[in-house]
Amino acid sequence: MSESVQAPATNKQTGEPILKLVNVDSYYGPIRALEGVNIEVYAGEIVCLLGSNAAGKTTTLKTILGMVAPRAGQIYLRGKRIDGKKTTEIVAQKVTMVPENRRLFTRMSVRENLEIGAELRDDKEGIEKDIRRVLEIFPRLAERIGQKAGTLSGGEQQMLAMGRALMARPEVLLMDEPSMGLAPILVEQVFETIKEINSEGTTVFLVEQNAHMALEIADRAYVLQTGNVVLSDSAEKLLNDPKMQEAYLGEVT
Amino acid sequence: MAVTEVKQRSPRQLATKFGLIAGIASIYFPVVGITERFNDRTIVDGVLQLGNAIFFVIALAAGYIVAKPRPLPGEEPEPPGPNALLYGALASAIAGLMTGLFVLLADSVNLRPVLISVTGGLIERLSYGGSAASAVLIMIMGGAALGALGAGLQLISTKLRRPVVIALGTALLISLTEPLLNAILREVLSQMGLKNNTSWLYEGGGLSVTGAILVLILTFAGMSWWTTRGSGVKAAYKQRPEQQRKMIKGGALLLAGLFLVYLPQILTSFLAEILGTVGLYILLGLGLNIVVGYAGLLDLGYVAFLAVGGYSTALFVSERSSLGWALPYWQVVPLTIIIATVIGVMIGAPVLRLRGDYLAIVTLGFGEIARVIVLSDWAAPTLGGAQGILGITAPEVFGVDLRDPQNLYYAILACVAIVAFISWRLSRSRVGRAWNAMREDEQVAEAMGVSIIGYKLLAFGTGAALGSLSGMFFAIKLGSVFPSSFNILVSINVLALIILGGMGSIPGVIVGSFVLVGLPELLREFGEFRLLIFGTVLVSLMLLKPEGLIPSRRRQAELHIEEVEEELFEKRADSDGPEPAVT
Ligand SMILES: Nc1ncnc2c1ncn2[C@@H]1O[C@H](COP(=O)(O)OP(=O)(O)O)[C@@H](O)[C@H]1O
Ligand SMILES: [Mg+2]
């Protein structure tokens, strides 16, 4: 279903894409989870990957990070191949993930979680400065800096998961369903923060089931269905696309 | 909130149930021979022997458990009324009846062909001088009295109960450690120029009557003071500035250290020997603690590194080894550590992808392989096969001759101090943090950039190096090494002492070693029942205090955090409500 040559949908699509998946196939044993997936993300964008349960969204992120090795296709980061590389090597190139369900180190303190996020950095002062910066973005974490991460509420946990990822000073931030299990008001806050992070220069690749909210902040989006990209366009067009409204936006509008 | 159906039993049913359990337990101990064997040991001279004490404890416990308040979930526990005494007495009377009937049965029918421990002598002693029929009566009445007493413990306030229970426990402990404590006491008294007469405390291998009263009163008084004032003292300590607290802690550590340094001066050589063994196990425990406690890699073949250390030392030090030449110790020590680290990493590399139980099974295999290799025809020319390697001469370090057991003890002590310090620093370092993250969630840790392979190999390597260090001392201590010394029981012992003390906790390793290695050496009577007691103690501890005796702060949180998480989850489910699903 993928078009080989795409007309730029937004004005941010200039130059070489920072992240590019070309005809990627991923398998879990004999099960094919991704089938010829093509995705391009340009620096400075918020690109959204939509799709219902088990569509292969998480698998896409895992494939980018090398946690699932693609069986076919190529993945480029800043024009260089990264498929087949080890996860730590890819992470070291400033690609960071906020995993599905937060997956915090629940038995470690808020502070230790943030420090682990900076595992690949060596600049002690810079790390301290960034911890302060994260705490400024999420003041509720500042009050709970010594508390075990497992004792935080759902919203706070999502903030910590984002803060932990920011500690790596990522240039590309991969986020897996940050709105999952949160009350609507918290979801709004989370998306607000994503926009803020993006406006400071971080490219965001956002996986969501919450299509409506995600499209509101995204520049462009891809729609995944059982491992295939079935739609891709600017967020604005998708919001008004009748196919999209029927399949993913329902009557929520 | 989840609705769980609670089966509520009437007090009489409860009393019957626990009475039957207690009855079975009271018959079990004499039948397997524990009662007779343990009666060689005095608890209070002329009053109570250890074997009989077991009956008392069972009867007390049955009454105590039956009388325990059992509130419905969500209800405030009601303090038990005087009826509880009755039911407690009933439970233990049932236990007494069962034991009595057993004595009666054994008296009339010869059970020896089936149960070899049920001798005429045992029946006679269980009848307490009278006929078997009178024994039934005594046991029912005695049981009822003790059961009521146990139940009475539930009636009195916690402030009173804790000191009573702790006083009884302390008296038991002080009595059981008589061989150690009495020797120390005598020596201290005579060194202070006093008569070394200790009959005011110890007599006939246990506490004397005055000693028992003394211990009970003193502990009770001390604990009562602590239960009423302890929290105040703790709060005062917490309010001290950080610096002062550190000094208090350091002072306490220093005192403990001085005591350990002074200890061999006042111990018989037998006891000093035991201390040395405990020290070796502490070293082993600290090493395995890094692998299991810090990095979360369940290694059941740790004995392999004890063997590597022992054999490497033997090979290079003994003139009678197959090499035919010997190296000086200052070369042997680093050589051994390097060999062990390399082997540790080599063993670690193939199992990097394995987790949890798979890792445990494979490492278990490696532990056995080490022993089998040493015994094999292939390695026998080098490592001596079943004959082992003899003639390991102890070194002289800075003019101190380690052939002297006392000096060897000091060397081990110094080594323990150094290794404990290194472990402590490691747990607080960046490496320790990465190990923690890896133990919690390997996948996410990797996605954060933690090099899983690197940190696992580091854990295996460090653990191996420390294990070989105790192997070295082991070889020096015995002057020889044999394959039979390096069996799987050592691995299990070391793991058990870590679990007992509390995973990841350094003081836990030390206490665990004393309890699991030192105590059984003192209680030689327990010899044949050692594994039985071992198992019982471990199972009860895991039920009562799963985080271990001295849990590391982190582990304590780990085992109790689920409760907090559940609570939070429930709260969230109440307030947030699920999202409308987008399909
Ligand atoms: N570890 C795994 N092993 C086998 N199959 C998996 C694994 N993870 C995911 N899958 C399968 O791959 C498909 C895509 O899953 P996933 O990427 O998690 O979907 P999504 O994140 O869109 O909900 C699903 O059919 C799922 O069952
Ligand atoms: Mg998913």
Instruction: Give A179 Cα–ligand 2 centroid separation in angstroms.
Output: 12
Contact B433 A112 (CB under 8 A): yes
Interface subset of A 125-154, CB within 8 angstroms of B: 148, 150-154
Q: Chain B residue with minimal CA distance to A106?
A: B440
Task: Answer whether residue B4 shows pLDDT above 70.
Answer: no
> Rounded to a whole number, what is the distance in Å from the CA of B353 to chain A's nearest CA?
14
Contact B447 A67 (CB under 8 A): yes
Q: How many CB atoms lie within 10 A of CB B374?
A: 24
B365's CB contacts (< 8 A; 6+ apart) are B301
pLDDT at B561: 46
> Considering CB atoms only, which of B444, B554, B582 is closest to A107?
B554
Give A249's contacts in chain B (Cβ within 8 Å).
582
pLDDT at A128: 94
pLDDT at B564: 47
Give B576's contacts in chain A (Cβ within 8 Å).
154, 181-183, 186
Percent of chain B with pLDDT over 70: 93
Give B552's contacts in chain A (Cβ within 8 Å).
none
Task: Answer whether residue A10 shows pLDDT above 80.
Answer: no
Reference B349, options B190, B461, B239; nearest CA is B461
pLDDT at B399: 74
> Considering CB atoms only, which of B441, B449, B568 is closest to A103?
B441
Name every protein residue with a CB atom under 6 angstroms from any ligand 1 atom: A 28, 31, 33, 51, 53-59
Confidence of residue B553 (pLDDT cuts 50, 70, 90): low
Cα within 13 Å of Cα(B210), Cβ side: 6
The pLDDT tens digits for A115-144 are 999 999 999 999 999 999 999 999 999 999
Test site for ligand 1: of A34, A58, A103, most ligand atoms within 8 A of the Cβ: A58
Instruction: Calculate mean pLDDT across residues B484-498.
Output: 90
Q: How many CB atoms lie within 10 A of CB B358?
A: 12
pLDDT at B578: 40
Give A55's contacts in chain B (Cβ within 8 Å).
none
The pLDDT tens digits for B517-526 are 888 777 766 7
Residues pairing with A173 in the sheet: A96, A204
Instruction: Calculate mean pLDDT across residues B301-311.
Output: 94
Q: How many CB atoms lie within 10 A of CB B87?
A: 25
Least confident of A181-190, B266-275, B555-564: B555-564
- Tokens 């607080």, located at residue: B428
- Tokens 């038995």, located at residue: A107
pLDDT at A4: 44
Instruction: Calculate mean pLDDT across residues B58-78.
Output: 84
pLDDT at B525: 66
pLDDT at B320: 76
Beta strand pairing call for B202-203 and A31-41: unpaired
* Amino acid symbol at A157: Q
pLDDT at A232: 92
Query: Bigger pLDDT: B575 or B78?
Result: B78
Is B154:B111 a contact under the CB 8 Å cutoff? Answer: no
Least confident of A105-119, B384-398, B445-459: B384-398
Is A150:A104 a contact under the CB 8 Å cutoff? Answer: yes
Confidence of residue B39 (pLDDT cuts 50, 70, 90): confident
Contact B557 A148 (CB under 8 A): yes
Instruction: Give A65 Cα–ligand 2 centroid separation in angstroms.
Output: 15
Summary mean pLDDT of chain B: 85
> Rounded to a whole number, what is the distance in Å from the CA of B431 to chain A's nearest CA?
10
Q: Chain B residue with minimal CA distance to A93?
A: B449
Instruction: Calculate mean pLDDT across residues B242-253.
Output: 86
> Rounded to a whole number, what is the distance in Å from the CA of B435 to chain A's nearest CA?
11
Percent of chain A with pLDDT over 90: 77
Instruction: Calculate mean pLDDT across residues A209-232.
Output: 92
Query: Bigger pLDDT: B544 or B35?
Result: B35
Task: Answer whether residue B284 shows pLDDT above 90.
Answer: yes
0.85 surpassed by complex ipTM: yes
Q: Mapping DSSP to helix (H, G, I), strand (E, B) and coil, where does residue B195 land?
A: coil
**What is the CATH class of A1-94+173-253?**
alpha beta
B523's CB contacts (< 8 A; 6+ apart) are B41, B176
Query: Bigger pLDDT: A247 or B373?
Result: B373
Cα distances (angstroms) measured from residue A249 to each of A187, A208, A216, A241, B277: 17, 12, 12, 10, 71
The pLDDT tens digits for B195-207 are 878 888 898 888 9
- Report yes or no: A92 at the B interface, CB cutoff 8 Å: yes
Q: Where are the alpha helices (DSSP H) in B240-268?
A: 242-266
pLDDT at B328: 82
Task: Answer whether residue B178 shows pLDDT above 90.
Answer: no
Instruction: Calculate mean pLDDT across residues B416-437.
Output: 94
The pLDDT tens digits for B320-367 are 777 777 788 888 899 999 999 999 999 888 888 887 788 888 999 988
Q: Where are the domains of chain A?
A: 1-94+173-253, 98-169
Percent of chain B with pLDDT over 90: 35
Task: Answer whether residue B436 shows pLDDT above 90.
Answer: yes
- Report yes or no: B574 at the A interface, CB cutoff 8 Å: no
pLDDT at B580: 39
- Report yes or no: A213 at the B interface, CB cutoff 8 Å: no
Instruction: Take atom 7 of ligand 1 and give the residue whose Cα is closest.
Output: A28
Task: Answer whether residue A69 shows pLDDT above 50.
Answer: yes
Interface subset of A 233-252, CB within 8 angstroms of B: 248-250, 252
CB pairs under 8 A between A and B: 103
